[in-house]
Structure 1
């Protein structure tokens, strides 16, 4: 395939030795003496290809085609794995080099390699990689640069929180980062899904029970703890994380939450939606595929329809679908499940009621990720009454709006102006409003999917957002054009 001859099947060697390492091909593990190196499956695929062709250049295209044969990935994904391999092999320490970059071409494995046709027996008693991460069934699309940055930052910070709106892919990114950091944390990477915990459960006790350790054992380890879905237990999480980090100097925490935990050691990583083409853009297929939302749509469509390709005549529909779904990975993935029944044109036509379209769930996903409505329910139910009311009233705005716009249109007896200012800041902090910093004014914007959901929560007797009080600035033509689809 792609000029790559004599790969594993025709190579009689079962063990490839280089430096202090032994790469056991059949068992797919690497030993340094009797210590097993921890690295992911794709990293092993890349290393095997390079080691079997030691002394030769393997192009980037060949590596990507071999490791990701059915997926659309960016080159940064390859670079992240190469960097992880170099860290695992301590490439460059004591003058020993293994993998070098050949500019504008690819990579080459330059250390001497010895081939053994009969390798030493590797017993099952060898320590397995220490983690409880779920198996990743699909590639991570459009997040290579972000993931690479987090992989580099995480070993240098104690607490990283990935924040963002429902469906943006916080869990996906965190688990990918954790997977790439397996070889860095000597005592493993451990995930605790807090979506399964209610506020009556002692959180620290739940974490220790999940990992089957006591507090002294956990805090004495060089490990990464992934706390997933912290938003509904924010106060408990803040207290527990502070206690763990104070007690465990080599323990690091990677959290996902729709809002920051607000701890002194916390580094925030806001997660934005995938990139989408502007409605005014006239694109070729190649240009459209440079947008990560389109990449994800095409990648997932290929799993539904064998041989699916993005054609010129499909560009307008696919780009429109990605825009109306805000570039949210969960929304795009759910929409693609309907492509067999509706085809592209039908899928595009149904986006006027995107929540109904996205109500068809993924039965293998956790409940909050089975439908977009479930994901938004999860956020909405965590809000206070004033926050829920403000979200409903702000759903009138189709476009970005200023604080003055919001005060003119949304104040009421239950939500006076003095309270609304604070509530808008809270909604932004909880990733339900996006903040756009302009040269003069701060503007807020609600995602289309969130706006549809919030509008659907308005009781018929509550407040007709299609009619605004006369005499207010909101009744001007400048603002009123935002209210009605």
Structure 2
């Protein structure tokens, strides 16, 4: 049984403390999510929109078969960024024939899932446009949105998130109100011996009333119980709120209240704490090392930052996210971060801090890029760790890109693009990488060598998007620029990319020349990574030309080199090609060994296209070995992965692979239908027909082919998965000696299934036809053979 690669059905964060109150809100939101496609939770900052949405989404997971997915949009500024972030969360892949938005809607068209779009107020018009586009095209997708203002799309239902209930003076038990319960819960989290006495309860009730039941304000106040008595907190809040010395006096009362409580909490920090809080606002999230690199100076020594961060956590101004790569990560709530960012702007430090932040992100990205292609002496653990570091800080990378673009800093922007290219490739963020690279390439840049490097990396993104025309155009220009600059590594990369586009375009002689030049250059300049890539491409070229022994030799040479480098990603890619050659030579055990080793590598790394190719290879080999059930497991997993991530060519290949196995099992008509569906998907996505023509295209099978060709991808995939479930053993042929010449092929199939005791409904499900159609076939069989019952048909079939 192949291991399951179906993605987890949610990416919601773990709750770090107890959820308090909001039972009626949750019940109402739960009911609305059953009937409403777009539900927007609106309210002022700090009112608890995100926490309420996450709890409601967690409770709704069982109702959405394809899961619930959180997409944070706090820093998005364009429609493209909104689409890119949603696509990244869902691992959707685009190609050159479709816009990213179209690719996303294709992936979601038959999915039944809930998208939680958090903090949308910064780009509400762009989020609205994307949501409206997806609602119209994806009937199974629902949206739970948090924003300070509605999206104003046609199907939107707005739920106003109100403050927590507060105690009325002299009426009822204060502990029965949500706001007091929250204060007590958070106070006990900060001081475990905190006890509620009658005197304290009165003060807590007063605090909650003054804070208007705003959860963020209550949590900030409760965080002070280790330093102040409850009575002192109430007194200080009273002084602050009497004058409301800060904030926009024209703003709604609750916004003034929240600003006032944040002002109060900020005012209770000492100087170093205030300085660090505002400086940390440049981060989307951070670890101690990054904070020390960006925020420390003579006035704020690096050695003091850990204690200061702990103090800010204790005061609920900073949140602990969890551990990643053996580093604890932190963040601020959006409302606190915006407050701190305003303080940073007032301080006159903003530009200096943002420059340092960009420098830190650039250092991390360039370190990962160097490790991705470095030669001997770099262990795989270090390569992979630096890749994951970029993943953890990618929101900060985006912020650095955006800030650089707004300033017109082409050099720094292009350096970031060059460094992030490996991450974009592996993570499938091709359109995002293309967008940023094109944006900076459109600017004036005095560094022509850097422009050339960026163009070569842009060509690689275009090649992976299957936009070969653009890959050649920008790659050729990047090549000569890098040649002029003496950038040998970029020249070798350009030659490899252009050679691969030549192979795809069947310009095999030109590909041979480019690859020979790349091998010679990389050996002369000691560039083993690009040499390994070039050798692998030579193997692919030899395989394309039918020179399998030479292909095997080139792959083996590349594999030995990349194993020496301890580059598992590269090893995995070469193994896929080598497995294909072994399969073509009939070495099934060798092919299975290659595909399975590559599969283990790709599962660890998580590249969807390569993972799907490994699974498909394992499935094909298992089928040829007669291990049909295992083959279907791998092939179905590959097909599902391709379809769920929007890989149209991979989906077509997966359908054809399942059709081939099913045909060998005796399911000729159903297999022909799937093969037709695969051909239709290739045609509609602009890909050429598969290499070998489907053998069954005549007579009765022609109609099945055309029927399949008209299926859309969703219908075809469902049919393939059903067929795989029912065709794990060969179909039983009619008994020897029974004259079935009078029956059509479909009638013979129905007769055999009647002999197995199947009902009309079961037969219909097996053959993908309606029970009424089965009944007509049964009537025809009785008429042609002179029978008058299903019992006679079954006895006749089972006579032998």
Task: Give me the TM-score of the superposition, normalised by structure 1.
Answer: 0.49
More helix by share: 2
- The structure with the larger Rg is 2
Give the strand-richer structure, 1 or 2: 1
- Greater RCO (CA < 8 Å, at least 6 residues apart): 1
Q: TM-score, normalised by structure 2?
A: 0.30
